[in-house]
């Protein structure tokens, strides 16, 4: 008897004695036994952290370095170098304008490469697919 046949035989015995109940009307769901980590960024420290994903979490996440807020950047976020102030300001401005760094294999206009291109990009693509949140002007980077 093959391993698969033996396993099927044992499963039938479990079903017969009531240790294994199969319901055909229940939807199939997948639950992960490990924490789901997603990029979060601290604009003050210019650092990114992988933290557990908490959908619709009211609790503010705190930066372990400076104690200020960190923001959920989504899965496709690529962290700029810590010393690259221009790229961090670009990321912060895009985040403040409601853009999130998601990637689900869709074909859309890529986000701008440089900080000075952000305003033109936002004007050209007001309904961009990655603009999924409401703008928050309090997060806009200061002009220095």
Q: What pLDDT score does 93 carry?
A: 94
Q: Using the predicted structure, report yes or no on whether residue 140 has a pLDDT greater than 60.
A: yes
In this predicted structure, the answer to whether residue 91 has a pLDDT above a threshold of 90 is: yes
If you write DSSP's letter for every residue of 64-111 in order, what string do you get?
TTTSSB-EE--TT--PPPTT-HHHHHHHHHHHHTTB----SS---PPP
Question: Is the model more confident about 9 or about 20?
Answer: 9
The mean pLDDT value of the chain amounts to 83
For 41-48, what is the mean pLDDT? Answer: 92
Rounded average pLDDT over 129-134:
88
Q: Residue 31: what pLDDT?
A: 59
* pLDDT on residue 81: 94
Tell me: pLDDT of 46 over 90: yes
**How does strand 37-42 pair with strand 47-52?**
antiparallel
Q: Choose between 124 and 16: higher pLDDT.
A: 124
The mean pLDDT of 95-123, rounded to a whole number, is: 87
Q: Which residue would you say has higher pLDDT here, 80 or 142? A: 80
Q: What is the rounded distance in angstroms from the CA atom of residue 81 to the CA atom of residue 88?
A: 8
- Taking residues 109-121, report their average pLDDT: 92
pLDDT at site 22: 62
The 3-state DSSP class for residue 11 equals: helix
Instruction: Specify whether the CB–CB gap between 48 and 73 falls below 8 A.
Output: yes
% residues pLDDT > 90 (the chain): 31
């Amino acid at each position: 008897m093959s391993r698969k046949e033996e396993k099927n035989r044992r499963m039938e015995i479990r079903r017969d004695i009531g240790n294994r109940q199969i319901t055909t009307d229940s939807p199939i769901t997948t639950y992960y036994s490990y924490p789901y980590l997603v990029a979060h960024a601290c604009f003050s420290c210019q650092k990114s952290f992988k933290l557990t994903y908490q959908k619709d979490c009211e609790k503010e996440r705190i930066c372990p370095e400076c104690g200020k807020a960190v923001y959920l950047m989504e899965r496709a976020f690529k962290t700029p170098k810590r010393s690259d102030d221009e790229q961090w300001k670009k990321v912060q401005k895009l985040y403040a304008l409601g853009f999130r760094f998601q990637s689900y294999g869709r074909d859309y206009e890529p986000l701008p490469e440089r900080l000075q291109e952000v305003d033109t990009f936002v004007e050209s693509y007001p309904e961009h697919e990655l603009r999924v949140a409401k703008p928050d002007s309090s997060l806009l980077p200061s002009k220095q």
